[in-house]
């Protein structure tokens, strides 16, 4: 079975912004730009949709060994993540559950691979967002009780918490001095969480941005 990449849960919300779309070789659309102020909003507080990216999940006590046979760098500790050489990342969610996001070929290979004992597939139909900008922690303080500035001391940490009442997985994706985070949630809550985060971002002087401005 090949990886399924349906429309983003927030596709219709994005379409209302009349953005500039980009399209990959599989015909999957993502927002390239929302407007001429994308870079400015990204520096203050930018919200971008990454739900189009390809991902897979697996869990069970044999999963670490099974994934390492694909050449993946297994995060050494629970609730941590590692970058993939070909782009993307692998997150260890607790002791034995993993989220892999990245290259379509790699993800398809994982999904199609023959299962072995103590390895169980996890269907990933997430809404996936990125937040960046100097005011991002103000947004977190309004929506959850975790001070994400503590991630600076452990940048490979994965946080499982709730934002605006929605269970989320969060990690720091900072590549510069500007804070940047990745967020995943159940796709059925995607519209609600997107609208909530977008409204707060706009109140703080930022807003929705395209991939061209993502820090």
Q: What is the mean pLDDT of residues 123-138?
A: 94
Give all domains of the chain, ordered by start, each with its CATH number.
Answer: 11-52+125-213 (3.30.1360.120), 54-122 (3.30.70)
Question: Among 3-17, 118-132, 171-185, which is the least confidently predicted range?
Answer: 3-17
Between 36 and 61, whose confidence is greater? Answer: 61
CB burial of residue 36 (10 Å; 0-12, 13-18, 19+)? exposed
Tell me the percentage of the chain whose pLDDT exceeds 70.
95
């Amino acid at each position: 079975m090949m990886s399924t990449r349906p429309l983003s849960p927030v596709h219709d919300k994005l379409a209302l912004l009349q953005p500039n779309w980009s399209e990959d070789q599989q015909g999957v659309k993502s927002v390239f730009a929302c407007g001429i102020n994308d870079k400015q909003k990204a520096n203050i507080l930018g919200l971008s949709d990454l739900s189009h990216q390809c991902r897979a999940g697996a869990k069970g006590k044999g999963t670490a060994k099974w994934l390492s046979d694909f050449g993946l760098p297994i995060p050494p500790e629970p609730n941590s993540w590692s970058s993939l050489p070909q782009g993307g990342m692998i997150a260890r969610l607790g002791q034995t559950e993993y989220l892999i996001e990245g290259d379509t070929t790699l993800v398809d290979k994982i999904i199609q691979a023959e299962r072995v004992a103590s390895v169980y597939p996890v269907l990933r139909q997430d809404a996936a967002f990125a937040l960046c900008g100097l005011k991002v922690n103000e947004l977190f303080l309004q929506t959850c009780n975790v001070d994400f500035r503590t991630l600076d001391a452990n940048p490979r940490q994965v946080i499982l918490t709730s934002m605006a009442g929605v269970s989320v997985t969060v990690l720091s994706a900072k590549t510069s001095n500007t804070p940047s985070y990745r967020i995943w949630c159940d796709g059925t809550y995607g519209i609600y969480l997107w609208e909530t985060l977008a409204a707060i971002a706009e109140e703080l002087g930022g807003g929705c941005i395209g991939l061209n401005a993502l820090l």
